[in-house]
Amino acid sequence: MTQPSLTVSELLIRAQSAIVGEFPTPLWVRGEVTGYRRTSGGAGFFRLADHDVAEAAVEVAARGRVMAEIDRALGDSGVGRLRDGVEIRVRATVGVEKRNSVIRLNLLEIDPEFTAGRLAIDRADVLRRMKADGSLEANALLPTPLVPLRIGLVTSRGSAAHADFIDQLRRSGYRFAVKTAHTTVQGGSAPDRIADAISRFAPETVDILALVRGGGSQLDLTAFDSEVVARAIASALVPVLTGLGHDTDRTVADEAAAFAEKTPSAAGEWVVGRVGDFARRLATARQVIVRESQIALDRHREMLRRAASDVTGGAVALDRQSDTLASLGEGISSSARRVIADQGRLLASLGDWFSAVGIEKTLQRGFAMVTGPEGGRVVRSTSQVHPGDRLSIRFADGTVHVVAEGE
């Protein structure tokens, strides 16, 4: 007996009935958005994938009116518009799409609090891991340059964020040199592209890296909560400054960077302020140097003036001393001449006296001089003569030799 068979349409109808029977009312399903797209009429289509089982996914569709309400709810909560990679919790009915013969969820609403909570949990996990291995503080430990004039800028070239940051630098009047690495700043590929843009500056000579983008919702900023971007910041060779256009919670990128500002303009103001502070300190130092130099110059001028006065007074004193010395010299010369003359006359009179009492004059007056045998010593007493001594007797007209005899 031939077994009964079903047509494809009958099979799909029964499958639809079974599914509707199993899920007669809307239910909540959670998963990660992939392949998100919108039609010109506002309808939305994407796949809701299981985060832990990659091959498990279900098609999701929503009419334009429903998507408009969902956009409004996500916007009011601060989460932002849907995009790939976001984990969401949706309320939907379950059915079978006849054209593709697949199970499809007909979207009714999305739970913004679930998405916000998942973003917060993911962010906290990244922060915990990076804090545990020390990479969260790595960039902040790098030395901050005194004058950050060479800037590496990571942003979407031509964006408002790019223009705002550059405008702050340009209006300052300082000579900044900016090198820009273009990157997308949102979407599924944004984290890897931002990290790559940061790493491009490794061989470059820059003082600081600036990572900026305009304001946005939580979903707009998910790239900056990613671990790959945060670790790229931690691996940077120079301090990183963020200006990510948010006014509420700091992103993971803000936490990993050495400096974080609220907006691109504020980031530009920070750089300008850093250079301006150094310029002001330099101007103050210059004023102090000029003032102290002038004081020292005035002090030394006064010292020189006093020294010159002392030298002039010394010259006058020297002139007086010179006159005194000249007068003393003349007096000494005159006195010396008188003394020499007096001593000359004295010597002349002594010469005459010595001539009068000299040996020759004495002998001529009839005296004689007796000298002994021992070296011709003059004999002045008989006690100096012994019998047999040979004596010399000198007269004015000659000398005779005699031998001493006893009594």
235 and 92 fall within a common domain: no
Per-residue pLDDT, 353: 65
Q: What is the tens place of the pLDDT at every residue in 193-249?
A: 999 999 999 998 999 999 999 876 666 778 888 899 999 999 999 999 999 877 666
74 falls within a domain: yes
In the numeric block, which tokens belong to residue 24? 């007669």
Euclidean distance between CA atoms 182 and 162, whole angstroms: 10
* Residue carrying the six token digits 């984290």: 191
242 falls within a domain: yes
211 and 75 fall within a common domain: no
91 and 132 fall within a common domain: no
306 falls within a domain: no
Contact criterion met (CB below 8 Å) for 225 and 119: yes
Q: Rounded to whole angstroms, what are the CA distances from 398 to 28, 105, 376, 393?
A: 172, 175, 15, 8
Euclidean distance between CA atoms 26 and 155, whole angstroms: 43
Euclidean distance between CA atoms 61 and 38, whole angstroms: 10
Q: What is the tens place of the pLDDT at every residue in 310-353?
A: 887 777 778 788 778 877 777 777 777 887 887 878 777 776 66
355 falls within a domain: no
CATH of the domain at 105: 2.40.50.140
Per-residue pLDDT, 395: 82
Q: What is the tens place of the pLDDT at every residue in 96-123?
A: 877 777 888 899 988 887 777 777 778 8
Judged by DSSP in three states, 151 sits in strand
Q: Taking all residues of the chain, what is their mean pLDDT, rounded to a whole number?
A: 85
184 and 105 fall within a common domain: no
Q: What are phi and psi of 236, to 5 degrees?
A: -60, 145
Q: Across residues 282-297, what is the average pLDDT?
A: 86
294 falls within a domain: no
267 and 216 fall within a common domain: yes
Euclidean distance between CA atoms 231 and 71, whole angstroms: 32
Per-residue pLDDT, 355: 64
172 and 59 fall within a common domain: no
Per-residue pLDDT, 233: 96
Exposure of 193 in the CB half-sphere (CA atoms within 13 A): 13
168 and 197 fall within a common domain: yes
Per-residue pLDDT, 153: 96
330 falls within a domain: no
**∠ Cα 317 319 322 (to 5°):** 110
Domain count, the chain: 3
Q: Above 90 in pLDDT, residue 266?
A: yes
Q: Above 80 in pLDDT, residue 42?
A: yes
Among candidate residues 110, 141, 171, the one where a domain is terminated: 110
Q: What is the tens place of the pLDDT at every residue in 140-156?
A: 999 999 899 999 999 99
Could you tell me the pLDDT band of residue 357, with boundaries at 50, 70 and 90? low
Euclidean distance between CA atoms 216 and 274, whole angstroms: 27
Q: Above 80 in pLDDT, residue 250?
A: yes
Among candidate residues 110, 136, 151, the one where a domain is terminated: 110
3 falls within a domain: no
CA 169 to chain centre: 21
Domain that holds residue 259: 122-276
Among candidate residues 276, 298, 331, the one where a domain is terminated: 276
Who wins on pLDDT, 112 or 132?
132
Q: Above 90 in pLDDT, residue 139?
A: yes
240 and 160 fall within a common domain: yes
161 and 246 fall within a common domain: yes
134 and 94 fall within a common domain: no
129 and 215 fall within a common domain: yes
